[in-house]
């Protein structure tokens, strides 16, 4: 149907509004927001109640690439180097070797049991080889699940850095389908070229971005986020132009800037958090509109079988092989294996075969969409249960809340957080001065029975108090938390 500009804007606004409300509901119910965003898009599509006729893979791919750039940058910008530095080896292995092993195992099964050629099967495996962090952490937050030790930073680094590898494999394999005279070995030099150029460009653009942001002295503070918006696309485009991996460059640029001194850094963090959510909603809605459910019905059986193989065989084997060089608890490996949710990235990559007119392209796209939904339904809804079953979730008494949203100067290095006092906490019925806090940490406020108390050294800590704690360093905060919790926050058993 023909849609005027006014009606088009109205539809976009309504879809965004409905998606945000649905996301809030899914957060409370523990259902991944990805699933609801996609569902809203499908319902609004040509075979749904919205009857919006959208069948443009090229436009969907363009929206997807732009969205993924800002999602990856935001993820990198919010990543603390101190937290991922100890797991950098694990993350790199999972995001490279893990992706290749996953793609290869899926390809073998699809090639053996279907009419796909090996190259087509490998292309399908490459497309579904990356994981989605947004879906994972939204579920963990909605169920108040905190993870022990280094599991969370490992998952954070893997999911942020495995998209570039999946993108490289997808584009390279599509190139091979168009040039049958080339072999798989021909993409090895291309791998080193793309990733070396991508890494150098990411670091270089991050360095340039830091210098420009801190020295340009714009007249209006609101222009700084606009400047970084331009920097993200400039980083991606310039890297691609130099035959590098643009997604890798954008992620590294985000990590670099997120761990450097920047003017208005707190404003930038909040801005890009909102941009990332907006991009996710737009991306998921667009991909949902692109789907025709009637075309998926004949693929239910192969879709289920491939999904089960991916969840219970390919992903666990990929994780085991990737993490062989590292000493880890077996339960940590099992949980990381289970956290293999597929998200919007595979669906975006599935549009590439459609644009070159590959014979199996519609089947690949619908299979990828089905695998994504199946993965979210099975793995996503059972994440809290698996974390408790494998004993990788912190008990309630060891959990702290997310940092308090307080505007401080960009030059302030203090750590601030909230922590709930459990009934069996060693701090209960003790005065604050009896807790022997480090000199660089203090309790600045107590919330008790809905009221806020300004404490002093003689204030008694009661069960179910919420303490707002301020510390000069992360180490002193951890030391202070150990006086309130039975164990230091994040300590493994």
Write down the pLDDT at residue 27.
54
Are 471 and 419 contacting, i.e. CB atoms less than 8 angstroms apart? no
Average pLDDT, the chain: 84
Q: How confident is the model at residue 366 (pLDDT cuts 50, 70, 90)?
A: very high
If one counts the domains in the chain, the total is: 2
Of 138-147, 202-211, 326-335, 448-457, the poorest mean pLDDT is in 138-147
Q: How confident is the model at residue 78 (pLDDT cuts 50, 70, 90)?
A: confident
Tell me the H-state helices in 312-467.
315-322, 330-338, 344-349, 351-355, 361-375, 381-389
Out of 352, 371, 389, pick the residue that ends a domain: 389
Domain match, 66 and 129 both: yes
Domain match, 157 and 270 both: yes
Domain match, 125 and 259 both: yes
Domain match, 331 and 446 both: no
- The yes-or-no verdict on residue 44 having pLDDT over 50 is yes
The residue-averaged pLDDT of 9-22 equals 77
In a domain, 348, yes or no: yes
The boundaries of the domain holding residue 469 are: 396-484
Write down the pLDDT at residue 488.
41
Write down the pLDDT at residue 317.
96
Out of 372, 389, 406, pick the residue that ends a domain: 389
Domain match, 368 and 422 both: no
Tally the residues of the chain: 493
More confident residue, 425 or 226: 226
The residue-averaged pLDDT of 203-227 equals 93
- The yes-or-no verdict on residue 296 having pLDDT over 50 is yes
Residue 251 sits in a domain whose CATH number is 1.20.1530.20
Domain match, 298 and 235 both: yes
In a domain, 492, yes or no: no
Q: How confident is the model at residue 492 (pLDDT cuts 50, 70, 90)?
A: very low
Domain match, 383 and 439 both: no
In a domain, 467, yes or no: yes
Domain match, 124 and 194 both: yes
Q: For residue 265, give the DSSP letter.
A: H
Write down the pLDDT at residue 489.
41
More confident residue, 48 or 140: 48
Write down the pLDDT at residue 491.
42
Q: Which H or E run contains 90?
A: helix 88-113
Domain match, 219 and 358 both: yes
Residue carrying the six token digits 């006086």: 483
Domain match, 364 and 440 both: no
The CA distance from 86 to 83, in Å, is 7
Domain match, 71 and 218 both: yes
- The yes-or-no verdict on residue 22 having pLDDT over 80 is no
- The yes-or-no verdict on residue 225 having pLDDT over 50 is yes
Residue 446 sits in a domain whose CATH number is 3.30.70.1450
pLDDT tens digits, 122-164: 999 999 998 876 666 566 555 556 777 788 888 888 888 899 9
The residue-averaged pLDDT of 372-381 equals 84
More confident residue, 285 or 138: 285
Closest CA to 65 of 286, 356, 264: 286
């Amino acid at each position: 149907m023909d849609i005027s500009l006014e009606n088009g804007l109205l539809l976009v606004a309504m879809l965004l509004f409905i998606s945000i409300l649905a996301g809030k509901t899914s957060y409370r119910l523990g259902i991944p927001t990805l699933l609801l965003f996609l569902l809203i898009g499908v319902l609004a599509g040509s075979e749904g109640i919205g009857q919006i006729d959208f069948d443009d893979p090229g436009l969907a791919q363009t929206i997807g690439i732009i969205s993924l750039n800002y999602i990856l940058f935001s993820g990198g910008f919010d990543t603390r180097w101190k937290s991922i530095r100890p797991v950098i080896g694990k993350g790199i292995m999972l995001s490279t070797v893990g992706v290749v092993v996953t793609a290869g195992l899926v390809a073998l099964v699809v090639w053996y049991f279907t009419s796909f050629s090996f190259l087509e099967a490998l292309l399908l495996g490459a497309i579904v080889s990356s994981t989605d962090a947004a879906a994972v952490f939204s579920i963990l937050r909605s169920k108040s699940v905190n993870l022990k030790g280094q599991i969370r930073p490992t998952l954070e680094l893997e999911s942020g850095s495995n998209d570039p590898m999946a993108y490289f494999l997808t584009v390279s394999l599509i190139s091979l389908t168009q040039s049958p005279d080339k072999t798989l070995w021909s993409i090895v030099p291309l791998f080193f070229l793309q990733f070396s150029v991508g890494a150098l460009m990411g670091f270089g653009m991050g360095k340039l971005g830091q210098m420009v942001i801190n020295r340009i002295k714009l007249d209006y503070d609101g222009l700084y986020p606009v400047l970084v918006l331009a920097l993200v696309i400039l980083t991606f485009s310039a890297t691609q132009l130099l035959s590098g991996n643009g997604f890798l460059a954008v992620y590294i640029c985000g990590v670099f800037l997120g761990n450097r001194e920047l003017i208005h850094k707190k404003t930038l963090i909040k801005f890009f958090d909102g941009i990332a959510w907006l991009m996710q909603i737009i991306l998921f809605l667009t991909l949902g509109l692109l789907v025709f459910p009637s075309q998926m019905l004949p693929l239910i059986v192969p879709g289920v079988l491939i999904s089960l193989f991916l969840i219970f065989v390919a992903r666990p084997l990929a994780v085991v092989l990737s993490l062989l060089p590292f000493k880890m608890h077996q339960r940590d490996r099992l949980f990381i294996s289970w956290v293999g949710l597929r998200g919007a990235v595979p669906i975006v990559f599935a549009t590439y075969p459609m644009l070159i007119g590959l014979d199996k392209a519609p089947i690949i796209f619908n299979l990828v969409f089905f695998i994504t939904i199946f993965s979210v339904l099975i793995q996503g809804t059972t994440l809290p249960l698996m974390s408790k079953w494998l004993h990788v979730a912190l008990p309630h008494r060891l959990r702290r809340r997310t940092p308090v949203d307080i505007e401080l100067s960009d030059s302030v290095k203090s750590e601030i957080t909230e922590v709930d006092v459990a009934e069996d906490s060693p701090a209960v019925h003790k005065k604050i001065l009896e807790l022997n806090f480090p000199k660089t940490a203090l309790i600045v406020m107590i919330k008790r029975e809905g009221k806020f108390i300004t404490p002093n050294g003689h204030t008694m800590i009661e069960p179910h108090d919420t303490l707002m704690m301020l510390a000069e360093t992360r180490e002193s905060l951890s030391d202070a938390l150990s006086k309130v919790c039975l164990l230091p926050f994040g300590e493994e058993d």
